[in-house]
């Protein structure tokens, strides 16, 4: 067996970012073969990942990148177990690497994204390597691609909440500030859809069912149930969809009225809100 020197251990540590003792053990097991030692360390990461699969990854960060012309954007959420890890340089670098590849390649699914190459390894293997180093579960919990006329990002709560807002009817105006205002609204109020037309029939049916059950429980006459339920549903649309909501910065206007005041016809095409935890 080859003698493992301190220089060898330090070299492997520099190559992989793993701990000194882990590097020494891997080199010893690999009889000084660096490629084998790296594979052993990766396997250790896989074992750590598997052993922590029951742990909840409720911390982490949202990463967003928008094209210079504001017509394309990508959002990813990378989760970990502790806020301490979320603030480390290694975690931030990994998140940025995943984001950059997602923005460049725009694979269709999270699985396809994780299979993308990153310096000779798949992103999935990159994640596994860091799991082996930090001993915490890591997970890409959200991956969003958005295209539109003007996409504005909003990041809140120490990168733990991210919003993408796609505006239409821009009329060649700079709508960055308006987009941020609406992003703040979405972050604070968590609407279920842009407006009532955007809500799935399943959600509407469920809300009607809940409303009717409440009305009957209150002892209202059965012949009044449909009318009262319709009123409750309209209230739900007003409070829980974005455009009819009272604008948080000026409650005398709805979000729709605020956008129209910025430039006639300006409105929201779609949005995505992603929160960590």
Q: Which residues contact 82 (CB under 8 A, 6 or more apart)?
A: 59, 136
pTM of the model: 0.83
Identify the helix (H) or strand (E) that includes residue 124: helix 123-134
* Best CA proximity match to 126, nearest among 86, 91, 74, 85: 91
Task: Domains for the chain: give ranges and CATH numbers.
Answer: 6-51 (1.10.8.10), 53-147 (3.30.479.20)
Distance of alpha carbon 267 from its chain centroid, rounded? 23
Question: Which residue has tokens 């505006």?
Answer: 167
pLDDT tens, the chain, 277 aa long = 568 998 888 888 877 778 888 889 999 999 999 989 888 888 887 777 777 777 788 999 999 999 999 999 999 999 999 999 999 999 999 999 999 999 999 999 999 999 999 989 999 999 999 998 898 999 999 999 999 999 999 999 789 999 999 999 999 999 999 999 999 999 999 999 999 999 989 889 888 888 898 898 888 888 899 999 999 999 999 999 999 999 999 999 999 999 999 999 999 999 999 999 8
């Amino acid at each position: 067996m080859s003698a493992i020197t301190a220089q060898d251990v330090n070299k492997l540590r520099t190559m992989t970012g793993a701990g000194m003792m882990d590097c020494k053990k891997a080199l010893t097991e690999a009889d000084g073969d660096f490629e084998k030692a790296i594979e052993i360390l990766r396997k250790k990461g896989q074992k750590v990942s598997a052993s922590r699969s029951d742990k909840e990854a409720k911390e982490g960060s949202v990463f967003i990148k928008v094209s210079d012309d504001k017509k394309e954007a990508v959002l990813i959420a990378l989760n970990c177990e502790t806020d301490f890890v979320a603030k480390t340089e290694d975690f931030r670098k990994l998140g940025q690497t995943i984001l950059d590849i997602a923005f460049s390649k725009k694979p269709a699914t999270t699985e396809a994204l994780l299979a993308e190459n990153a310096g000779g390894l798949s992103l999935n293997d990159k994640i596994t390597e860091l799991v082996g180093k930090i001993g915490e579960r890591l997970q890409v919990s959200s991956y969003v691609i958005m295209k539109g006329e003007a996409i504005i990002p909003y990041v809140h709560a120490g990168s733990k909440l991210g919003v993408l807002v796609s505006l239409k009817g821009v009329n060649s105006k700079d709508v960055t500030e308006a987009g941020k205002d609406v992003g703040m609204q979405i972050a604070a109020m968590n609407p279920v859809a842009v407006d009532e037309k955007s809500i799935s029939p399943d959600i509407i049916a469920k809300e009607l069912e809940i409303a009717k059950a409440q009305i009957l429980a209150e002892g209202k006459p059965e012949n009044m149930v449909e009318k009262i339920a319709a009123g409750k549903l309209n209230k739900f649309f007003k409070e829980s969809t974005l455009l009819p909501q009272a604008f948080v910065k000026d409650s005398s206007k709805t979000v729709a009225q605020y956008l129209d005041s910025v430039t006639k016809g300006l409105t929201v095409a779609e949005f995505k809100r992603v929160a960590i935890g």
